[in-house]
Structure 1
Amino acid sequence: MANAASGMAVHDECKLKFLELKAKRTFRYITYKIEEQQVMIDKIGGSDESYEDFTNSLPADECRYAVFDFDFTTDENCQKSKIFFIAWSPDTSKVRMKMVYASSKDRFKRELDGIQVELQATDPSEMSMDIIKSRAL
């Protein structure tokens, strides 16, 4: 399961919970963290949680991967949903942590089939609701 380049494994539960978010829409978001050379689930947000709940769940000084199920209405008044993959790498996190997350991101993202939009953020302004909306359309 480990990738020779980064040595990172992905816990099976990461994929299972993502499939649940994608197919059943039981969750609004999932945050993932790297611990002991593997990606594991950090937090899961219920389907009733908001984007603000999600952004508040991200640590201010640690990296995370996250998926967020964003519901929106198009200009034609159609209800849509897009799954965002967000690589959260705040400027205040340790350099080594940023490097580990950056080097493992693509492999981890490939494990999650169904991501529609990718976003990189180093501070909350880079993933504001306006940016999310503009990237979803």
Structure 2
Amino acid sequence: VAFPGPAEVLAAPDTAFRMPAARRETIRALARAVADGELDLEPGGDREEAVRLLAAVPGIGPWTTGYLAMRALGDPDVALTTDLGVRRGAAALGLSDDPKTLSAYADRWRPWRSYATIRLWRAA
């Protein structure tokens, strides 16, 4: 079964979302922005604009914008240093698991920090 498109998400009843109402409404707001053509989440699109628009959706914070930039938009340079799995992976590899320290360390991985993020998840 393919992941539902924005129209299917918008048409789904509340009972299809087994999550808090606020999260459900965030998903619907995101689906609405994509369906209306306001937000392009396709790889190759304008990443900066997409991240700016994602951050404007109530309920979407820095981790989610970074994750979507990495996974949906194909951004090769996202470091999710506050992510628990990333922090655990860093510790397993002998790196600091402090987000601020890890973020500074991750600067040396530019412009490929997304690949390092995936590697850290795998090391967790």
Structure with greater proportional helix content: 2
Q: TM-score, normalization: structure 2? A: 0.31
The structure with the larger Rg is 2
Structure with greater proportional strand content: 1
